């Protein structure tokens, strides 16, 4: 069984991912983003890209999957710009894995 990649967020931020074969889930097509995230995470998706603005609203839901190897839920910048959430998530994961935040700027 092959795993898939999804992108969630506002249409302008994620629409381009469809052109490279990712399944997209625009906010204007979701009744409940938390339910969509859960369905993707429990389905055949190994990676879920999620815009930072949407990730902030679903932080508690995303945390439920933080101890699992899959799916990887990765915040990405949206059209409104980079809020640094993706780098914070990576730093947190590195710190958890090695016991120290080796990515922190000195």
What is the pTM (predicted TM-score) of this model? 0.79
CATH number of 4-81: 3.40.50.10580
pLDDT confidence tier of residue 81, bands split at 50, 70 and 90: low
DSSP assignments along the chain, one per residue: ---EEEEEE-HHHHGGGGGGT-EEEEGGG-S-HHHHHHHHHHTTEEEEEEEHHHHHHTHHHHHTTTTSSS-EEEEE-BTTB--SHHHHHHHHHHHHHHSS-TTS--
* Tens digit of each residue's pLDDT (9 = 90 or more) over 25-65: 999 999 999 999 999 999 999 999 999 999 999 999 999 99
- In the chain, where are the structural domains located? 4-81
Residue 94 has pLDDT above 80, yes or no: no
């Amino acid at each position: 069984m092959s795993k898939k990649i999804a992108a969630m967020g506002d249409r302008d931020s994620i629409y381009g991912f469809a052109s490279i074969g990712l399944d997209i889930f625009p906010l204007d097509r979701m009744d409940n983003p938390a339910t969509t995230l859960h369905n993707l995470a429990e389905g055949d998706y190994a990676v879920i890209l999620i815009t930072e603005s949407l990730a902030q609203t679903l932080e508690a839901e995303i945390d439920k999957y933080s101890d699992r190897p899959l799916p990887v839920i990765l915040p990405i910048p949206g059209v409104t710009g980079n809020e640094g959430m993706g780098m914070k998530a990576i730093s947190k994961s590195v710190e958890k894995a090695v016991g120290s935040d080796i990515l922190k700027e000195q």
